[in-house]
C-alpha cells in the first residue's frame, strides 16, 4: 500500500497536507455516515495510511539517519520500512509482518513509536539513552482494552496487562487505532487458546 496514493497526495506532501487530506477523506468515508462494509474497509485503509505517514514523519524528526543502506526488513513495503526507522527494523525477526506503525506516548517516554506485527508489539522510546526498543509478544498479553480520553475523546489509550503482572499503556493514539490494536490482540489470544 502506498499511503500517499491512498490519501491522494504527492510523495513530498507536508504533514499539514497529510492531515488535511486525512480529515477530508474521513468526513467522506466514515462508517457513521453510511456506506456499510465498503465504507468501513475504505476508512480502515485511510486510517492505516495516515498512521503510517505520521510515523514516517516522527521517525524523520527523531531518529538519526541510518549509518548505511540496509536490507533489513526487505520483505516489508518501503513505506513501512521508512516509518519503522533503523532501530525498530533491527529488532524485527526474519519475515515478521508489520501491519501498523504509529506515534504514541508511554509512561517512560512522552515521545515513542509503536509498531504491531503479526507476533508482537514493538516500541521505541525516543528519549531513552539505552534500551530504546522494547517488545511484548501477543502470547504474553493477558488483557487489552482501550479508553477514550476525556473531555474531547479524540485520542485514546491502549492498556495492556502482561501475564507476568506488568502493565503497559500507550497514549495519544487515534481511537480507531487503539480499538483495532485491542481487537487484534484479543483475537491473537483467542487463537492461542483455541
pLDDT at 61: 76
Q: What is the pLDDT of residues 26-71, one digit of tens each?
A: 888 888 887 788 888 888 899 889 998 988 888 877 665 555 555 7
The CATH number of the structural domain formed by 3-193 is 2.30.29.30
* Sequence-ordered list of residues with C-beta below 8 angstroms from that of 87, at least 6 positions apart, any chain: 63, 124, 132, 133
Q: Where is pLDDT greater, at 192 or 124?
A: 124
Domain boundaries of the chain, sorted by first residue: 3-193
Rounded average pLDDT over 61-86:
78
pLDDT at 182: 95
Q: What is the pTM of this model?
A: 0.77
Rounded distance between C-alpha atoms, residue 62 and residue 75, angstroms: 24
- Looking up cell 487515534 gives 174
Could you give the percent of the chain with pLDDT greater than 90? 56
- Looking up cell 502493565 gives 167
Rounded average pLDDT over 15-19:
91
User: Helix, strand, coil % (nearest 5) of the chain?
Assistant: 45, 25, 30
Containing H/E element for 115?
A: strand 112-117
pLDDT at 178: 94
What is the side-by-side strand order in the sheet with 167-173? 141-148, 156-162, 167-173
Rounded distance between C-alpha atoms, residue 173 and residue 139, angstroms: 22
Q: What cell does 127 get? A: 528519549
Amino acid at each position: 500500500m502506498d499511503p500517499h496514493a491512498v490519501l491522494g497526495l504527492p510523495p513530498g506532501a507536508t504533514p499539514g497536507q497529510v492531515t488535511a487530506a486525512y480529515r477530508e477523506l474521513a468526513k467522506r468515508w466514515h462508517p457513521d455516515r453510511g456506506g456499510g462494509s465498503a465504507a468501513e474497509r475504505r476508512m480502515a485503509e485511510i486510517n492505516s495510511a495516515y498512521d503510517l505517514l505520521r510515523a514516517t514523519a516522527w521517525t524523520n524528526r527523531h531518529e538519526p539517519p541510518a549509518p548505511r543502506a540496509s536490507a533489513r526488513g526487505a520483505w516489508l513495503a518501503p513505506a513501512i520500512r521508512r516509518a519503522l526507522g533503523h532501530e525498530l527494523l533491527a529488532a524485527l525477526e526474519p519475515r515478521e509482518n508489520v501491519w501498523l506503525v504509529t506515534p504514541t506516548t508511554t509512561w517512560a517516554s512522552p515521545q515513542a513509536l509503536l509498531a504491531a506485527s503479526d507476533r508482537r508489539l514493538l516500541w521505541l522510546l525516543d528519549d531513552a539513552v539505552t534500551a530504546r526498543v522494547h517488545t511484548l509478544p501477543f502470547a504474553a498479553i493477558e488483557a487489552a482494552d482501550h479508553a477514550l480520553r476525556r473531555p474531547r475523546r479524540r485520542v485514546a489509550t491502549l492498556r495492556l496487562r502482561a501475564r507476568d503482572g506488568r502493565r503497559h499503556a500507550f497514549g495519544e493514539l487515534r481511537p480507531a487505532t487503539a480499538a483495532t490494536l485491542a481487537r487484534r490482540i484479543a483475537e491473537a489470544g483467542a487463537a492461542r487458546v483455541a
